[in-house]
A = this chain, B = another copy of it.
């Protein structure tokens, strides 16, 4: 690496790592300890786990004699890297009171000190590569921190005064469909892209039939019409597993909606308030998105359609994200809400995971998940691409997920 590249990486390291602590700052030690469901991790766990990643995969690689800050952290803050050693039971992360929030802060400081020293002293490209992976990994956890703390605080009857953070998608308006030609297209990340996750490639050919894609996300107003038309009471609109889950959990609306005295209310980190009908509907599962699309006589796009259209539109995750273009075309492909696709999360042709423990990253989740595309209002700046593949179980609702409709041969 050149000195400039080293300098850039050091800067980027500082920025990303600081952003995590800024995100956590408004939340108390107690807020950061709670795990409100197995999918959620405590905020201090995220702060420690992302640090463990650098300690294990960068400091440990650069210096095999690296003495861990605390050997128990290897067990506590390993997540799914089975190859690296024993892990603490995921669903019991909320039982771990120690290290506390302040001690995690100290752990971060010590690892940062070592990392910054290493990056300044060493221009080994392998170190740079894993560091960059670690920073992207930390950005993913920044979004998880937002999703998770929202869920944690939503379980508490005191949440009508939780904070001053507004993580909501920007208002939008009624969508209309735009036609795309399809044909033999390229799918997957351009090899020239500076960084991407392994699951975004290899780039490959795919045949896409002509299709139409909505220019904006579905609004709360439209979704309310679905509810009012019995959307949650008509099994014919639902996938079988979705209907079973909705019945078992008593779904009547998206997560965080509640019936108030004068109509539907929504919980955000600003408190519980009236539902804003102009904002995109958020916190819906794949099952709800799919049922809504069927009710609307449309369907969800495939991930290929989504990527083809976004490339054609030249939509990017710039500063205008989540807003309307002067042209009147919605530009909420990025920065508003992740968009469910009808594509199961699967390897692209020729996919090969990275070697070693880091290679556990993505491939092992390629079952029972659906792909979401775009990015959301809680996605860190710069952490999105047309080829980015997010994925969640079809029943999950605590992420910032929305609906973009499609039609034509799917």
Cβ-based interface call for A286 (8 A): yes
Chain B residue contacts of A99, Cβ below 8 A: 158
Instruction: Tell me how far the C-beta of A100 lies from the nearest C-beta in chain B, rounded to whole angstroms.
Output: 4
Q: Which B residue sits closest to A40, measured CB to CB? A: B95
Question: Would you list which residues of chain A between 358 and 410 have a CB under 8 Å from chain B?
Answer: 360, 364-368, 370, 394, 409-410
Quick one: copies of this chain in the complex?
A: 4
Q: Which B residue sits closest to A149, measured CB to CB? A: B97
Instruction: Tell me how far the C-beta of A269 lies from the nearest C-beta in chain B, rounded to whole angstroms.
Output: 13
Interchain CB contact under 8 A, B28 and A98? yes
Contact of A98 among B30, B44, B97, B366 (CB under 8 A): B30
Please encode chain A, from 31 to 47, with 1 for each CB lying within 8 Å of some chain B CB and 0 for all others: 11110100000001000
Please encode chain A, from 137 to 172, with 1 for each CB lying within 8 Å of some chain B CB and 0 for all others: 000000000000000110111110010000000000
The bracket for how many chain A residues form the interface is: 35 or more
Chain B residue contacts of A227, Cβ below 8 A: none
Cβ-based interface call for A251 (8 A): no
Please encode chain A, from 238 to 257, with 1 for each CB lying within 8 Å of some chain B CB and 0 for all others: 11111100000000000000
Cβ-based interface call for A62 (8 A): no
- Selecting from A15-23, A118-126, A203-211, A326-334, the interface stretch reads A203-211
Contact of A80 among B31, B240, B367 (CB under 8 A): B240
- Selecting from A258-266, A317-325, A345-353, the interface stretch reads A345-353
Instruction: Tell me how far the C-beta of A245 lies from the nearest C-beta in chain B, rounded to whole angstroms.
Output: 11
Contact of A97 among B156, B238, B351 (CB under 8 A): B156
Chain B residue contacts of A70, Cβ below 8 A: 158
CA distance A409 to B349 in the complex (A): 5
